[in-house]
Amino acid sequence: MKLINIMACCSTIALTATAAAAQTQTPPSGLGTVPDAAIAGDAEKGTPGQSQTDALDPASQAPSPAASSTDGDIVVTGSRVVSNGYQAPTPITVVGSEDLKNSAPNITEALRQLPQLTGSTGPSTPSFTPGGSVSSTSSTANLRNLGITRTLVLLDGRRPPASGVTGTADIAMFPQQLIKRVDIVTGGASAAYGSDAVAGVVNFVLDTKFRGVMGEVRNGISTRGDGHSWAAEASAGFGFADDRGSVILSGSINEQDPIDGSARDWAQRGWATIPNPNYTTTNGQPQLLFREDVNLASATYGGIITGARRGSTRVGAGSLRDIQFGPTGAQSLYQHGQFFTGTVEVGGEGPRYPAAVVSDVNAKTAFGHAEFDFSNNFSVFAEGAYGYSKTFYPLLMPYFIGSGGIVIQQDNAFLPANIRQTMLANGFTSIELGKLDGTWGQNLVTNTTKTLNLTTGFKASFGGISVDGYYEHGESRFLLETDNQRILTNTRQAADSVVNPATGQIVCRSTLTNPTNGCVPWNPFGTAAFTPEQRAHQGGSGFARSIAKQDVVALTVRGNLFSTWAGDVAAAVGAEYRNLSGNIEVDPISSVIGFGATNPQGSGGGYNVKEAFGEILVPLFRGNDFLKSIDFNGAVRRTDYSTSGGVTTWKLGLTSELIDGLRLRGTYSRDIRAPNIGDLFGPRTRNVAAIIDPFRNNEVTQNVFTFTGSNAGLVPERAKTIAAGFSYRPDFLPGFGFSVDYYSIKIDDAITTLSAQQLVNQCFAGDQSLCALTFRGADGRLTDVNGVALNIATVKISGVDVDASYSTDLFGGKFNLRGIATYLDNYTQEARGVASVRYDGTGSFPSWRANLQATYTSGGTTVSVQERFIGAHRRVIAPITVDQDRVPEVFYTNLTIRQQFEAGDAKPELFVTVNNLFDRDPPPSDTNNVTLGTSRQVDPLLYDTVGRYITIGGRIRF
């Protein structure tokens, strides 16, 4: 595929070139924005209708097997105003699909490697805490690390159905083989496309004019012999009625075997941060220690005594403390490691186990597109798409830790006699047993997503005016299944076993009063295998079924209004209506928080949106020497939400070409992210907490009910975005260009959740709006705190994007070099009454990320090398301190070799891609403290967790 990079803003700009030229031109390969590449023809820089990318590289005539006969008709995500030669003010990165495939075995993983998309998720990032609303292994786009809900994903300029009630699309469901390029707008785009485009837009552009047949098969495996993957894709397109009509069909199958953490040495080393037991506010020591071999200290696989009770009062266990039980129940004194904190420690005999690295994936897609030209001025189309994705991974072992330990009564039938005697001597009525039940095994998570998208529309033109409209219905059905769960009530009943005085048999205490309750006694001391009856009693499976629906009707009218001394004034107006709904249904046990690990909650709701927008392009000046051109671009959109009312977004932009090849650009825009179905009507969770009440002289109130989750009263987040930069392509160095762009985004009314204690504190400080979320009884004591999501945060982010490219003839072939980098200068979040937090340069937010790609093509051979850089950063966020705070920089190398053969019109090609060529292990970077036993030591959104991975395959087209 061609790689075409354009400096453009959130919009639609057309480029028309000849089909023959489109099939032969191969612009510089790489990832990122080509500096100063024109959208359409530029009479001074290249042939009218020719991309400046092509003009930049006129000597490149190597045939491309992926070139489509329709590559000459390119519609790039930019403004809704179509105007040849216009340079819109904000950069857009346009990446051809083949260039993405040179970076990773599939498009979704390749996108995650782009510097601007750090933080995007995929099958290699399985979540610890699935919530039932969206697949935790969906492939999502996350621009600027502002969150997937602040990045608008489009398919051919239209909103695809979301993969759950959060409103985010799973890009793995798109017809991968027909994606001819991906347009990435790295700035606010709400005036052009509506809500969610705060961070920008990622638009997947399909080749809906494809003719012929093409297929691809590929197989991949890591050099450790695991993680096998295979894929098959096929597409066919043909015309009829003298090519006035066309039909395109495409389908794909992708499968990926899982990789467990036990298969990677780095995943078993147990790196984590733990509290420094020697820290005080005055001794200058760090608050945290970063150490290897961090384990649980409050639970073992066989059980360990961590506390005791006299009646309902928890007390120290005295001499019973730290007595642990081996596999057969044999007793020994637990040997602690270093830096024992009561929960975790370095070394010792406590357990831990690594988290999953890659999920098991099975995905299928089917796509069809048909269109017919009734005349040169009127055409209609219909499109249907279906996607299926199923992922599977292990999650958590049953854990009974701290106050959630297993309570063993004094008369327990399985209690060793010496322990019972000590309890009697000390007046203990019960003891608490800390246990990580590895014998039971991990609960197993399966995510299944099915999406359906049906679209029909038309395009018409008359008298220089063009009109297009469409209706789209999309829905996504998601099923979360959690097998091998542990039912907490049944487990505690089974552990509370006694001797039946009437029969002398061991039974559950509950059976004495309810003989038909089905309880099966269980010995919690040791690691004996569970009987089928015990598993049937204590085990269960949970589920969450969600369905999200979206209906869209849209109409756009565009054309030239009149001409001025500087050129044509173009405008576009339009309207759009969207209706969205979603609901989640869960199993009865999850609904009452009855499982030990995963308890999704039910919910449901919907809303509709009415929008009207307008955009105008005004050429202000045309010259010949210094200051060659000035253009103004403005847009405004009025949006009315049925839940929160109206809001206006707008954009103001200027571009100027000072001298040949040197362009300045800038925009100032107001953008929004409306709360999605999950924010407004998603599940709420009830917990019980102890609250320090400043209204009652800091009295600690126990058993206060707290509620967290959705809030139907939320309003849209509002952002202001500034983008300014320049691009330069000097005449004295043909084939070279670079651009530098600064961006600054401030989000007000950002949606966040305060803790129950923070809400009470801010109410005491005088915030009456938060006082309305607290409730008190007749005696004045707190009873409930409604800690739902609120529009009370501010997010500020700024940075610089840099792009440079060079293309030249070399040794009879073509050499292309491309480097893109992004620098994060500031990422700050604050909420009312809560201290601001700076994330830049910490955790998942390294200050520098960059890609460098070099490609050499000679004859039918192409060799591409990509170097990916993730900068060094701090491990923790100030003011927290840690003794080892630096995460080192990391370089990853990817290599792709492609060989095309001459075989008539078929153009077969073989390829091999090696990701992480030098098998670089990820650095320990996560601050997980293994309190639940699971150890995830690496941020999978930043680093490669698989290791060296080889993919081989073949493509053919005829």
At residue 924, the pLDDT reads 92
Confidence of residue 80 (pLDDT cuts 50, 70, 90): low
Above 50 in pLDDT, residue 86?
no
Tokens for 935?
């150890």
Outline where 413-457 has alpha helix (H): 417-426
Cβ atoms of 295 and 337 within 8 Å: the answer is yes
At residue 87, the pLDDT reads 52
Above 70 in pLDDT, residue 430?
yes
* Length, in residues, of the chain: 958
At residue 525, the pLDDT reads 97
At residue 410, the pLDDT reads 95
Above 60 in pLDDT, residue 186?
yes
**What is the per-residue pLDDT across 332-375, written as a single tens digit (0 to 9) for each?**
999 999 998 888 999 999 999 998 999 999 999 999 999 999 99
Above 60 in pLDDT, residue 27?
no
Q: Looking at per-residue confidence, does 462 or 102 come out higher?
A: 462
**What is the per-residue pLDDT across 215-273, written as a single tens digit (0 to 9) for each?**
999 999 999 999 999 999 999 999 999 999 999 999 999 999 999 999 999 999 999 99
| Whole-angstrom distance, CA of residue 214 vs CA of residue 252 | 12
Cβ atoms of 725 and 741 within 8 Å: the answer is yes
Average pLDDT over residues 317-336: 95
At residue 706, the pLDDT reads 83
Average pLDDT over residues 676-702: 84
| Whole-angstrom distance, CA of residue 201 vs CA of residue 188 | 8
Above 90 in pLDDT, residue 436?
yes
The secondary element (H helix, E strand) that includes residue 934 is strand 934-935
Above 90 in pLDDT, residue 857?
yes
Cβ atoms of 820 and 33 within 8 Å: the answer is yes
Output Rg (C-alpha) for the chain, integer angstroms: 31
At residue 687, the pLDDT reads 76
At residue 110, the pLDDT reads 79
Confidence of residue 185 (pLDDT cuts 50, 70, 90): confident
Give the DSSP letter of residue 116.
Answer: G
At residue 24, the pLDDT reads 30
Residue 38, SS3 per DSSP: coil
Q: Looking at per-residue confidence, does 54 or 880 come out higher?
A: 880
Q: Looking at per-residue confidence, does 564 or 10 come out higher?
A: 564
Cβ atoms of 774 and 760 within 8 Å: the answer is yes
**What is the per-residue pLDDT across 443-452, written as a single tens digit (0 to 9) for each?**
999 989 899 9
**Which DSSP string do the residues of 449-486 spell out, in sequence order?**
EEEEEEEEEEEEEETTEEEEEEEEEEEEEEEEEEEEEE
Above 70 in pLDDT, residue 46?
no
Above 60 in pLDDT, residue 85?
no
Confidence of residue 438 (pLDDT cuts 50, 70, 90): very high
Highest mean pLDDT (candidates 68-77, 293-302, 624-633, 786-795): 293-302
Average pLDDT over residues 390-403: 90
**What is the per-residue pLDDT across 544-569, written as a single tens digit (0 to 9) for each?**
999 999 999 999 999 998 998 898 99
At residue 872, the pLDDT reads 96
* Burial degree of 260 (CB within 10 A; 0-12, 13-18, 19+): middle
At residue 64, the pLDDT reads 34
**Which DSSP string do the residues of 611-679 spell out, in sequence order?**
EEEEEEEEEEEE-SSSS-EEEEEEEEEEEEETTTEEEEEEEEEEEEEEETTEEEEEEEEEEEE---HHH
Confidence of residue 299 (pLDDT cuts 50, 70, 90): very high
At residue 719, the pLDDT reads 94
Beta bridge partners of 370: 247, 382
Confidence of residue 127 (pLDDT cuts 50, 70, 90): low
Largest CA distance in the chain: 107
Average pLDDT over residues 839-862: 92
| Whole-angstrom distance, CA of residue 590 vs CA of residue 510 | 22
Confidence of residue 433 (pLDDT cuts 50, 70, 90): very high
At residue 12, the pLDDT reads 30
**What is the per-residue pLDDT across 145-173, written as a single tens digit (0 to 9) for each?**
898 889 999 999 899 888 777 778 888 88
Give the DSSP letter of residue 905.
Answer: B
**What is the per-residue pLDDT across 694-716, written as a single tens digit (0 to 9) for each?**
998 888 887 788 878 888 899 99
| Whole-angstrom distance, CA of residue 56 vs CA of residue 51 | 8
Average pLDDT over residues 59-76: 35
Percent of residues, the chain, with pLDDT higher than 70: 88
Confidence of residue 93 (pLDDT cuts 50, 70, 90): confident
Average pLDDT over residues 898-907: 86
At residue 689, the pLDDT reads 78
Percent of residues, the chain, with pLDDT higher than 90: 57
Tokens for 731?
């005449």
Chain mean pLDDT for the chain: 85
At residue 82, the pLDDT reads 44
Q: Token pair 């028309």 is at which residue?
A: 16
| Whole-angstrom distance, CA of residue 543 vs CA of residue 541 | 7
Choose among 106, 357, 55: nearest CA to 230: 106
Above 80 in pLDDT, residue 780?
yes
Give the DSSP letter of residue 107.
Answer: H
**What is the per-residue pLDDT across 104-117, written as a single tens digit (0 to 9) for each?**
667 777 788 888 88
Give, in order, the Cα–Cα distances in Å from 335 to each of 301, 341, 399: 14, 14, 20
Q: Token pair 């015309």 is at which residue?
A: 239
Q: Looking at per-residue confidence, does 691 or 532 come out higher?
A: 532
| Ramachandran quadrant class, 510 (left: phi over 0; alpha: psi -120 to 50; beta: rest) | alpha
Above 80 in pLDDT, residue 526?
yes
**What is the per-residue pLDDT across 656-669, written as a single tens digit (0 to 9) for each?**
999 888 999 899 99
User: Which amino acid belongs to residue 710?
Assistant: S
| Whole-angstrom distance, CA of residue 119 vs CA of residue 139 | 11
Above 60 in pLDDT, residue 681?
yes
Average pLDDT over residues 456-471: 94
| Whole-angstrom distance, CA of residue 101 vs CA of residue 104 | 5
Above 90 in pLDDT, residue 190?
no
| Whole-angstrom distance, CA of residue 396 vs CA of residue 403 | 19
